[in-house]
Each structure stands twice: as structure tokens, then as C-alpha cells.
Amino acid sequence: VPSFGIAKAGEQPRVFFAGLPMGHEFTSLILALLQTSGYAPKVSDEVLANIKSLNIQSDFDVFVSLSCHNCPDVVQALNLIAIYNPGTTATMIDGAFFQDEVEERKIMAVPMVFQDNNHIGQGRMTLEEIIAKLDSNAAAKDAEKLNAKQAFDVLVIGGGPAGNTAAIYAARKGIRTGIVAERMGGQVMDTMDIENFTSVQKTQGPKFAAEMEAHVREYDVDIMNLQRVSAIKGADETSSGLVEVTLENGAKLASKTVVLSTGARWREMNVPGEQEYKTRGVAYCPHCDGPLFKGKRVAVIGGGNSGVEAAIDLAGLVEHVTLIEFDTKLRADQVLQDKLNSLANTSVIKNALSTEVLGDGSQVTGLKYKDRATDEEHVVELAGIFVQIGLLPNTDFLKGSKVELSNRGEIVINERNETSMKGVFAAGDCTTVPYKQIIIATGEGAKASLSAFDYMIRSGQ
């Protein structure tokens, strides 16, 4: 198996590739070559200064699969740290070539990062997130900077399609605009192919997200990335008469209006064993983690389009796929069902309630389910479970606030995207608007932003 390091002539290599960096990782190789030779990375001077100031002596390993669209961001971030901080090294390891290491470290999800052989994270992570993990004072530094910010005219919460669109529309009005995001791009970052956004015949989620962020940065928008909101108070609850947003690091931001566009996350099964075996057999991204189950038996939970598409994709990699659906029939498009039925190594179990994830203490060994017609319990022996059962709105921080939520946890809005809290608007997958689609979220983001601007004019702000 080819393994090699990259360094300037006369220097010791600090960036390594174990395996062939092809597929999604080819860009990681090209960037490593350019940056090692002195090509300036597209990051801010502040980020580079933070990398250089890290007082660490560490070796980082990141396990990937070449079909994983989340992995390159992590590989490229760690490579950049290794290039600019002489106390570190970074090694990309293709799990398909190093099965012994994968088995030894119980890796069943990628990307997975180790610092000096200690697991420190998995899944998509930005460069800033990784730096924050390595810098114990990062949260306090961020809070100090954020607390010093002046009040905004429009403050957008959420960095997905709705939030980015709302920020662009507000900034184009020439008003003070900010956007707070846990990660720019939102759930789009976890989407592989996008083929239903008018005028864009086909693209991929990470590329679409990067283009959205670049569009936002064309305007005077204060982007506060890697921040989570913990609470919100209406203008009638604060002494300033402004809406107050509290972040998890303790910082407080004030704004005349707020647009909530926090999106949604994968819905979980909420059965015993699911949390225990996350990243150890329980997965939510078939594109990322599917190659780790090559030649094994897996299950897909959910019979909608996402579930059936996942089963079809996995069938080309694994020994067998069992699709389990709660309803008495699949809800996926017929063309997808026909494709699934044509595959010899797939089976479908309908009218079944998943009740428990089984494991041996280190990884998944099976799934227990109940036949809803007979109440009989059954066990499917397998190594992986891919959960594809829909979305939950990211609105937990609003519980107990004056923002009305539906019984599904969605933010209740009217036709102008107004919430029950004065001066607070909402858009996208976190709201009661039906049909959670990227193109609908962008339109709703525009509406919410225009409504916020109209509100300021009519209220004399």
C-alpha cells in the first residue's frame, strides 16, 4: 500500500498520506503540495496566527473513506495545522487499505480523528473547530470578542440556505447584519447530490454550501461561526428594548430584529443501544461510512426516499442490506422502489418497530424489532445500522421562551414569517412551513429578511 510524506527540500515531512489520496481526497493532496511549497492558504491571518500559537507536540491521524464528502475538510484542516505548526504531524489513513488498524481502533464512522492515538472527534469538523478543541482558552477569547459587538439591525441565527439568504437580503439593504452559525452551510453539508435546485442541474452539498458562504462574504455581514445559541429574550424582556441572544459560551448579542433559521437534524430511533453504539455501527451517512462495512450485513431504517436511496447505494458495497420500515408500505418514489427490488442482496421488512440496537460492548452485532401485526420480536444479525427516518427541528433552545412551537417542535410562523415574539422572524426547516427543501428554505429566508426590514421601517427603528 503506498504511503508517503510531503515536505520542502531539506526538511522533515509533517504531512503524510497512508493510501492513495484519490476520490474526494485528491484535492487534499493537491492543497498539501501547494501549501507545503509556500502557497498561501485561503484562511484569515487570525486563523494562521492561532495555528502557530498552539503550544502542542502531537501526531494526528484521520481515518477516511475516499467516497466520504465530509472527510476532506478534516484532512485539509489537520494538514494545514501540521504545515504551519512544527510541533505537529498529520496523517490521512484510507480505512479501506488499513483494515487491521480499522478493526483495532473499532472505527465504524469517518472521518475519525486521533491525537497521539487518543480519539478526539469524528464527523465533519472545520479548521476553526479543530483549533478550538486544541486551544483551551478559545471559548473565553470568543466570548470576550462577541460581548464587545455593537447591536445589529438584523441578526440571523443559522448558517444554512435560509439563514444565508436572509443575511444577503438584509445586507443588501445597507443595514447592520450579523449571522450566528454552529457551522456555515448547515445540513446541506451532509447532502451528497442536489439535482432539484432550479438553474443548477447537479451539484454536491459541500460545494453548494461553500458557494453560499462565498456569496454571503461578498456583502458586509458579520459572520460568527462555530457558535450555538442557548437562549433568546424578546425586546419587552430586556432593559435595552432590543432582542437579546445568549450564546453557549456566555456571550450576549443584541439586535433590533432576529431571523431564526436553525434548520433541522437527523431524527434518531430513540431505542436502547443507539447512543452507546453511535460511530460503532450506528450511522447516519451512508456515503461517508458505507465503505467501512464492505462485505458485511447492514440495515437501513426508514422507507422514504432517503432510506431507499441509502439501501441502493449500500447494496453495491456490503454483503446484504435489510431495509426496515415502520409503515405497511414504503413511501419512496416508485422508481427507487423498483431499483431496490431489482437488487439481489436486499430485503425489505415492513410494519416493523425497531426496539433495540444490540452489541458486544464495542460494536453493533444486531437489531431487535417487533412485528407490529403479530407483536412477535425478531433479531437481525448485522454489523451496521443506517438511520434514515427524517428530521427534527433545532429548536430546543427556544423551549420555555415566548417563541411559540408546534407539537413537533417547529417554530410557528405566519405568512410574513413572524413568530409570536415581537421582532423575531423565522425561516426554513425549523418552522411550520411544509416540505423541507433547499429551494423552499432559500425563499423563506428572503421573505423573513424582507419582513424584518419592513418591521423596522414601520416601527420607526
**Distances in whole angstroms, Cα of residue 250 to Cα of each of 144, 145, 233:** 9, 11, 14
Domain 140-265+391-458: assigned CATH number: 3.50.50.60
What pLDDT does 287 receive?
Answer: 78
What pLDDT does 108 receive?
Answer: 83
Point out which residues pair with 232 in neighbouring strands: 245
CATH domain 282-387 topology: FAD/NAD(P)-binding domain (3.50.50)
What pLDDT does 20 receive?
Answer: 92
- Rounded CA-CA distance 132/154 in Å is 27
**140-265+391-458 against 282-387: fold identical:** yes
What pLDDT does 205 receive?
Answer: 87
pLDDT tens for the chain, 461 residues long, are 789 999 998 999 999 999 999 998 999 999 999 999 999 999 989 899 999 999 999 999 999 999 888 899 999 999 999 999 999 999 999 998 998 999 899 888 899 999 999 999 988 888 988 998 998 787 788 899 999 999 999 999 999 999 999 999 999 999 999 999 998 999 888 776 788 899 999 998 889 999 999 999 999 999 999 899 999 999 999 999 999 999 999 999 999 999 999 999 989 999 999 999 988 899 988 877 888 899 999 999 999 999 999 999 999 999 999 999 999 999 999 999 999 999 999 999 999 999 999 999 989 999 999 999 999 999 999 999 999 998 899 999 999 999 999 999 999 999 999 999 999 999 999 999 998 899 999 999 999 999 999 999 999 88
The single-letter code of the amino acid at 334 is: Q
Domain 3-136: assigned CATH number: 3.40.30.80
Q: What is the pLDDT of residues 342-377, one digit of tens each?
A: 999 999 999 999 999 999 998 999 999 999 999 999
What pLDDT does 142 receive?
Answer: 85
What pLDDT does 112 receive?
Answer: 94
**Domain residue limits, the chain:** 3-136, 140-265+391-458, 282-387
The reply to whether omega before 206 is within 30° of 0 (cis) is: no
This prediction's pTM: 0.78
Say if strands 177-181 and 152-157 run parallel, antiparallel, or are unpaired: parallel
Point out which residues pair with 278 in neighbouring strands: 282
Using CB atoms within 10 Å of the CB of residue 122, give its burial: 0 to 12 exposed, 13 to 18 middle, 19+ buried: buried
- Rounded CA-CA distance 264/57 in Å is 38
> The dihedral of CA 269, 274, 275, 281: what is its sign?
negative
Instruction: Pull the grid cell for residue 404.
Output: 411559540
What pLDDT does 54 receive?
Answer: 93
Instruction: Pull the grid cell for residue 3.
Output: 504511503
CA dihedral 104, 109, 115, 118 (to 10 degrees): -50
Q: Which residue has the cell 422502489?
A: 337
Q: What is the pLDDT of residues 224-238, one digit of tens each?
A: 998 999 999 999 999
Using CB atoms within 10 Å of the CB of residue 89, give its burial: 0 to 12 exposed, 13 to 18 middle, 19+ buried: buried
What pLDDT does 235 receive?
Answer: 95
Chain centre to alpha carbon of residue 121: 14
Secondary structure string (H, E, C) spanning the chain: CCEEEECCCCCCCCEEEECCCCHHHHHHHHHHHHHHCCCCCCCCHHHHHHHHHCCCCEEEEEEECCCCCCHHHHHHHHHHHHHHCCCEEEEEEECCCCHHHHHHCCCCCCCEEEECCEEEEECCCCHHHHHHHHCCCHHHHHHHHHHCCCCEEEEEECCCHHHHHHHHHHHCCCCCEEEEECCCCHHHHHCCEECCECCECCEEHHHHHHHHHHHHHCCCEEEEECCCEEEEECHHHCCCCCEEEEECCCCEEEEEEEEECCCEEECCCCCCCCCCCECCCEECCHHHHHHHHCCCEEEEECCCHHHHHHHHHHHCCCCEEEEECCCCCCCCCHHHHHHHHCCCCEEEECCEEEEEEEECCCCEEEEEEEECCCCCEEEEECCEEEECCCEEECCHHHCCCCCCECCCCCECCCCCCECCCCCEEECCCCECCCCCCHHHHHHHHHHHHHHHHHHHHHCCC
